[in-house]
């Protein structure tokens, strides 16, 4: 609920059809961390604070709006991070950068793809500390934040401002970073297979096409490797997994012959988290580049013998992007 003072102050915005009282509360529920400086940051902070959004500026003077009291009674809970490209926000946020002749802003929502914004921002340099279009860039930055806050922005959107002030919207790249879509029944089958391997790590492969996935249960060959060559394979199946090379090769041949492809390699962490371990990363990408481009990894974390959470990881541009994988019966 807005106080009387707030209603007075933001009445113009509240009356705007697209904002309203709900919208004004949404603007006040966002906190912006600005990791860019200069004129762009000052302009963005002024617009955002005038609109009722709290802004923290990383460097320099925050400008005349620093003393603006918070809009809402409760502290803003939703963080929108603004980074200087090629850095990108870890979650919801906006990357600001420049290329010759123009500034570029990429905005990513919670439902956007972190790999896509990284790819799009890779070619950019940090924004110019001084430029003729800085105020325009800052105002646009504020607008992109407000669109996120109000829930009217698509998962990813981009804007370019030329040094002569020409504005153009940029088409978001077509995302190719999605994990495979696994039907709940198949996921349940995978969980049973992994649970049967406890207390060892279990493993399996998902093959098929994007719309027809099937599960190939695999045996964890780590104990056999360890018995044969403990120096090269110091870990046992309790804390590591490896695919049997013969079974793996046979699988690769049969999927290719059937016109299918390997979509993902799944394994479990019997008592750990659902992120790829350092060991998993070394195995998947010994030199930082994946051995299996386009193949996702699914780690299922068990706790007390029960699947607790799961996460998709996918190598892209030399690093991992990951997504939560909702488990059946959990939200």
Site residues for Zn ion per CB under 5 A: 113, 115-116, 175, 177, 277, 280
Residue placing its CB nearer to Zn ion in the complex, 166 or 175: 175
> Residue 318: phi, psi to the nearest 5?
80, 5
Judged by CB, which is closer to Zn ion: 34, or 237? 237
In what order do the strands lie in the sheet containing 212-218?
A: 212-218, 203-209, 261-269, 296-303, 306-316, 319-324
- Is the CB of 62 or the CB of 179 nearer to Zn ion? 179
The alpha carbon of 211 is separated from its chain's Cα centroid by a whole number of angstroms, namely 23
Q: Closest distance between Zn ion and the C-beta of residue 177, in Å?
A: 3
- Residue 68 or 268 with smaller CB distance to Zn ion: 268
Output the residue with the shortest Cβ distance to Zn ion.
113
> Would the CA dihedral through 220, 223, 229, 230 be positive or negative?
positive
Nearer to Zn ion, 2 or 237 (CB): 237
CA distance 58 to 33: 7
* Shortest separation between residue 239's beta carbon and Zn ion, angstroms: 9
- Please, which residue, 44 or 153, has the CB nearer to Zn ion? 153
Nearest distance, CB of residue 110 and Zn ion, angstroms: 14
**CB of residue 142 to Zn ion, shortest distance in Å:** 26
At its nearest, how many Å lie between Zn ion and the CB of residue 192?
Answer: 19
Instruction: Give least dist CB 92 to Zn ion, A.
Output: 15
CB 23 within 8 A of CB 15: no
Closer residue to Zn ion (CB): 39 or 201: 201
**Could you tell me the smallest distance in angstroms from the CB atom of residue 172 to Zn ion?**
9
Do residues 283 and 253 make contact, with C-beta atoms less than 8 angstroms apart? no
Which C-beta is closer to Zn ion: that of 27 or that of 94?
Answer: 94
| Least distance from Zn ion to the Cβ atom of residue 94, Å | 17
């Amino acid at each position: 609920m807005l106080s009387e003072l707030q209603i007075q102050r933001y009445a113009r915005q509240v009356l705007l059809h697209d904002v309203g009282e709900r919208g004004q509360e949404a603007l006040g529920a966002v906190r912006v961390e600005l990791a860019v400086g200069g004129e762009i940051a000052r302009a963005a902070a002024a617009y955002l604070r005038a609109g009722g959004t709290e802004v923290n500026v990383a460097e320099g003077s925050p400008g005349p709006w620093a003393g603006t009291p918070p809009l809402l009674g409760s502290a803003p809970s939703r963080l929108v991070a603004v980074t200087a490209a090629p850095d990108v926000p870890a979650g919801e946020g906006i990357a600001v950068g420049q290329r010759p002749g123009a500034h570029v802003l990429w905005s990513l929502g919670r439902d956007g793809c972190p790999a896509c914004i990284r790819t799009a921002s890779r070619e950019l340099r940090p924004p110019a500390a001084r430029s003729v279009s800085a105020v325009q860039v800052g105002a646009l930055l504020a607008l992109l934040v407000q669109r996120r806050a109000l829930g009217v922005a698509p998962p990813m959107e981009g804007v370019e401002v030329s040094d002569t002030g020409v504005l153009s919207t940029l088409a978001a790249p077509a995302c190719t970073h999605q994990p495979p879509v696994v039907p709940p029944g198949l996921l349940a089958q995978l969980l049973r297979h992994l649970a049967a391997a406890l207390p060892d790590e279990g493993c399996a492969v998902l093959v098929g096409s994007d719309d027809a996935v099937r599960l190939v249960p695999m045996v964890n060959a780590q104990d056999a490797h360890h018995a044969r060559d403990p120096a090269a394979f110091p870990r046992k199946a309790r804390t590591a997994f490896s695919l049997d090379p013969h079974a793996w090769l046979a699988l690769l041949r049969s999927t290719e012959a059937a016109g299918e492809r390997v979509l993902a390699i799944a394994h479990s962490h019997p008592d750990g988290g659902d992120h790829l371990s350092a060991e998993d990363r070394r195995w998947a990408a010994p030199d930082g580049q994946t051995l299996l481009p386009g193949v996702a990894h699914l780690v299922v974390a068990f706790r007390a013998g029960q699947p607790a959470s799961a996460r998709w990881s996918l190598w892209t541009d030399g690093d991992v992007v990951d997504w939560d994988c909702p488990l059946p019966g959990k939200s």
